[in-house]
Amino acid sequence: MSEQPIDRYRRRLLGGAVAAGTLTLAPGLFLHRLAEAKPDADPVTSIIRWGLLVDTNRCASNCTACVDACRDEHGWTGHDRPRSDAQWIRKVELRDPATGREVSLPMMCQHCAKPPCVDVCPTGASFKRADGIVLVDKHICIGCRYCMLACPYKARSFIHEELSHQKPYSPRGKGTVEGCTLCVHRIDVGQEPACVEACTADGRGALLFGDLNDPKSAIYQALAEHPSTQVRADLNLDLGVRYRGL
Amino acid sequence: MKRTRYLEIGTSSGYLLLLAVLGVLVAGGAGAAWFMEHQGHHVTGMDNQVAWGMPHVFAVFLIVAASGALNVASIGSVFAKVEYKPLARLSGLLAIALLAGGLAILVLDLGRPDRLIVAMTNYNFKSIFAWNIFLYNGFFLIVAIYLWTLMDPSVAKYGKRIGLLAIGWRLVLTTGTGSIFGFLVARQAYDAAILAPYFIVLSLAFGMAAFILVMLVAFNGSGRTLGGALLGRLRNLLGVFIAIALLVVTTYYLTNLYAAEHQATVRMILLDGGSVTTTFWIGQVLLGSLIPLGLIYHPLFRDSRPALASASVLVVLGGLATMYVIIIGGQSVPLVLFPGMEVSSSFFDGSFNPYAPSLPEMALGLGGGALALLLVALGVRVLPFLPDALPDTAAD
Amino acid sequence: MRHLLPALLLLLAALPATAAAPADGSRVPLPAIDAGPGEQCVEPVEFMRRNHMELILHQRDETVHRSIRTKRYSLRNCINCHAVDAGGQPVSLDDPEHFCVSCHRYAAVKPDCFQCHSGEPEPGVPGVVGAGAWSRGLAANASRGVKP
């Protein structure tokens, strides 16, 4: 009997191929490079759960490499109207008033396993892909903005004006809600999200991307080894984005 | 008891003037919606911080009031208070009209109103919004059937049962509307189960005030007799509803004040919130609750119709203020992502979000309200909704 | 009132602004469709004329929700091949001769694609396609700067 393509894909992912593609950045921390692209004809599965680890110790407060890369990649350049312009990812500066300790970190869609935006969306436009990525299906988004009220992380933006010349792989349009896609168009062809690539190249390597379900993945091992936090862990949303050094 | 006769109202010059004014307001709302859709929402005061603005203030007010407008019909049929019965038809008509006006605003404020069909064909059954789509459609249907049982003697025997269904449905509907906010676990100002009963109490007050106003205008405008006894009862009910609403809102803020987690939020809304704070104290508490209570209960204004009408107008304005505080205030308060930390970002994390409504938003909201009144005005003209006279003897 | 309809029809017939003049002596104006380079579409032309939207709609849901990114029926594939002029240059949505625009204007059917999708081919990749003979023909044509 012939092997199903999905089985081959699964075997490859669970096998050594992924681990072979890691690059040592620092002791105990790896840059994860996806070894294999998903075959075009195969659907995503829940065997994988994509996630991101942000090491705030390595995140400089004056660095916006991740934000710039995301803006270039997806073309959310804005209209000089800061209050209504979209921001898929932003740098948040924290200061502990008691000790004066300062922390800088990128904040974006946390790709919850139990996303409130998906629960409240009346049409099902806000949805979670099998591999854990939370997306907006802009084809059925009616622009009610309930997800923006429900999101604890302010991760969603509404498009307030007509757009043209969008990126072919990142369609965006007036009257719909949008947010970080974790660069699905890149992940599906075996690349890392644009922010992660930029942070490695131009930043200090504060972002680690990988499969939270794969014990061999660098992110899995980093999370197993060091303490990390989820923002607003009290909501128990099981986030795909984790932070170190908070 | 005398049998009540119902008659359509005639076409007077005053009536035509009313139609013209309402028509202009409705056209203004439609024009505003067209402008907003073509320009995109950047022409409104809404943004990525305050995503729901003035249209939602008007829409939620009208939807909540719609449920309350059914009070009189419910009291008449379900609680078998015959004196309210002659007004049941008007009560049902007003309920349908207010809901239609509110929904029109909500739909026209969508980013993609052209995709309404998507909202009707794709349902996420975990969404309170999706439940509400069913609740609103069901409300239209049930109240329409209820009106049918009131107006057609051949089906009158089903009136009591459908009336019972209507009162149950409207309670669920208002609970659903309140839950739109109550289920937002992430927002410091929402995420409270008390919002659902709060909305029910608000609906009783708003709906009663809207009903009293429409009734006074309809009877006066068509020169029909309206006895004082029934008005007195409605006046007392309105007073009780306002008082309960005030009690619930006090409870809401006091419980929030007890939890250290919520103290900053309460402080922002009650003290430091700019237009939200002003709207709360002046609009919701003073104009919307205390002055109406004075107008209703002070012996000086006993049996005064202008006083009752003024109280009702103030309750309606106070109702809009209440919705402003809940909807705008709740979004103005920053989300707390990192408790105890000072937070700043290019996306306004950690800061109070100001909001200033734009003209198109106001026009859309007013247009929706005018649409509701226009529907009532047309309804009483073409069908016998209104008793030809309602003297006190009829209420004995 | 009785003359209104014929008058309207006459008016329509006299407005061939976006429609090419009938070439074959037929009195019916036709849209100016430039199918773009390449020899054949992913399905027979007759089938595509009637069913392209079904294919795109199906593929849309498959891609967004299940990440199935086969190129054959993808909108990007349509655009990459069709929204290219004889010289291999991208055709903008503002151009009445854009493949989708020309026909949709003629049929007075507004597609709900281009509020979000750019409608222009990806830069540097005119015709990233899967069909063998088709892509070969396209590549050959593109290099010669002609269309079939």
Give me the average pLDDT of each 10-residue run along chain C (148 residues): 50 46 65 75 91 94 94 90 84 89 91 92 57 36 39
Are A168 and C65 within 8 A, CB to CB?
no
Domain limits for position B288: 6-335+347-395
- The whole-angstrom distance between C20's CA and the closest CA on chain A is 27
CA A237 to centroid of chain Cα atoms: 15
pLDDT of residue C16: 43
Is the pLDDT at A19 greater than 50? The verdict is: no
Mean pLDDT computed over every residue of chain A: 88
Please say whether the beta carbons of C98 and A68 come within 8 A.
no
Residues pairing with A135 in the sheet: A127
CA dist., res. A20 & res. B253, Å (int): 57
Q: Are C39 and C133 in contact (CB under 8 A)?
A: yes
| More confident: C80 or A22 | C80
Q: How many independent structural domains does chain A possess? A: 1
The CA distance from C83 to A79, in Å, is 28
In a domain, B342, yes or no: no
User: Which sign does the torsion angle of CA C60, C61, C62, C65 carry?
Assistant: positive
Is residue B287 within 8 Å of B321, Cβ to Cβ?
Answer: yes
Chain segment A47-105, per-residue pLDDT in tens? 999 999 999 999 999 999 999 999 999 999 999 999 999 999 999 999 999 999 999 99
- Where chain B has pLDDT below 70, the residues are 1-2, 393-396
Which of A123, A164, A230 to probe by mutation at the B interface, max B CB count within 10 Å? A123
Who has greater pLDDT, A114 or A15? A114
Run of H or E residues at A209: strand A207-211
Contact B42 A157 (CB under 8 A): no
Residues of chain A with C-beta less than 8 angstroms from the C-beta of C70: 40-41
- In angstroms, the first-to-last Cα distance of chain B is 7
Contacts of B123 in chain A (CB under 8 A): 122-124
Residues 6+ apart with CB under 8 A from A239: A110, A111, A112, A113, A230, A231
Report the run of H or E that residue B273 belongs to, with start and end: none
| Partner-chain contact B40 A175, CB within 8 Å | yes
Look-up: residue for tokens 């049996």? B303
CATH of the domain at A83: 3.30.70.20
Per the DSSP assignment, residues forming a β-bridge with A243 are A54, A229
Environment class of A75 (CB within 10 Å of its CB; exposed 0-12, middle 13-18, buried 19+): middle
Element (H, E) at A42: none
Q: How far is C117 from chain A (nearest CA, A)?
A: 5
Read off the DSSP letter of residue B300: G
Instruction: Please count the structural domains in chain B.
Output: 1
Give the closest of A38, A168, A172 to C122, CB-based.
A168
Retrieve residue A149's tokens.
């009220």
Cβ separation of C70 and A41 shorter than 8 Å?
A: yes
What phi, psi does A243 have (nearest 5°)? -120, 145
Note whether residue B1 is domain-resident.
no
> Which pLDDT score, from 0 to 100, does residue C29 have?
79
pLDDT confidence of residue C134: 34
Range of the domain at A197: 5-244
Place of tokens 């409207």: B170
Encoded tokens for B77: 């049929």
Judged on CB neighbours under 10 Å (0-12, 13-18, 19+), B103 is buried
First to last CA, chain C: 48
Whole-angstrom Cα Rg for chain A: 18
B52 vs A contacts (CB less than 8 Å): 145, 149
Mean pLDDT, residues A10-28: 41
pLDDT in tens, B9-46: 989 999 999 999 999 999 999 999 999 999 999 999 99
**Taking CA atoms, what residue in B is nearest to A140?**
B118
ipTM over 0.85: yes
For the domain that residue B80 is a member of, what is the CATH number? 1.20.1630.10
DSSP string, A66-122: HHHHHHHHHT----S-TTTS--SEEEEEEE-TTT--EEEEEEE----SS-HHHHH-S
